[in-house]
A and B are shown apart, each in its own frame.
Chain A
Amino acid sequence: MSDEVDFKVQQATRRRRRLLIVVTVGFLSWQSGLLLSLLRIDQGHVRAIDFVRLAGFALWVVALLWAIFSGWSMSSDPDVRDALNDELTQANRAEAFRFGFLFTLLAASAAYALALFQPVTALETLPLVIVAGVASASFRFLYLDRR
């Protein structure tokens, strides 16, 4: 690997990390509005904007999962793209996936425990479970990628 490619790889890695931070934090900030929309839908007060918010949520989940698990190659250079998806990145991704799965189960268990004391609907629970899984996987990947 030439110094030039190595420099490009480091630049692209930093860019990928910064973008992932922005997208994950944006994703989490989106949640308050989404939860209010879901409560309105749950209570039968449906507005078109609520479905737009839901579609945005789904799109954001897919984008984040794609970003973490596809490598999100930040370069058109094939050498840089390969290097950004090397064995270490794949191992970090697998660990992030495992972490996300664990948090998904924890969030689902917490929702189940809560449901024993008060009624909770799928519309209230599922977004929280999805957010817990996706955001924890994303943060774990960021942590491992910084080592």
Chain B
Amino acid sequence: MRTPTLRNRLKEQRTAAGLTQAELAGSVAVTRKTINTVENEVFIPSTLLALRLAKALKVRVEDLFYLD
């Protein structure tokens, strides 16, 4: 069975919310680089950060992250 890959729509949701990477980073207390690596799917965030991102963008975690 193939291991599913975690994908995300963070960039779409962030731009839809009218936020820059730096602004989103500030609201969840991480660096802009962390947001960038999550958006580019280089870094898989912890559950805690995923929940904080969803809260900051006022969406559900499932709207940000999904399995492919």
Contact = CB atoms under 8 A, between A and B. Distances in A.
A147 interface: yes
A87 B25 contact: no
Contact of B31 (A2, A3, A9, A147): A9
A86 B34 contact: yes
Contacts of B46: 87
B2 to A, nearest CB: 24
A52 B41 CA distance: 47
B15 to A, nearest CB: 18
A147 B42 contact: yes
A94 B7 CA distance: 23
Interface in B1-53: 22-23, 25-26, 29-34, 37, 42-43, 45-46, 49
**Interface of chain B: mostly helix, strand, loop or mixed:** helix
Contacts of A84: 31
A13 interface: yes
Contact of B22 (A3, A87, A88, A91): A3
B25 A88 contact: no
Using C-beta atoms within 8 Å of the partner chain, give the interface range for chain A: 10 to 19
B30 A6 contact: no
A88 B37 contact: yes
A88 B26 contact: no
A1 B22 contact: yes
B44 to A, nearest CB: 9
B34 A1 contact: no
Contacts of B29: 1, 82-83, 86
28 contacts: A1-B29, A1-B32, A6-B25, A6-B26, A6-B31, A6-B32, A9-B31, A9-B32, A10-B32, A10-B33, A13-B31, A83-B30, A83-B31, A84-B31, A86-B29, A86-B34, A87-B30, A87-B45, A87-B46, A87-B49, A88-B30, A88-B31, A88-B37, A88-B43, A89-B31, A91-B43, A147-B37, A147-B42
Interface of B: 22-23, 25-26, 29-34, 37, 42-43, 45-46, 49
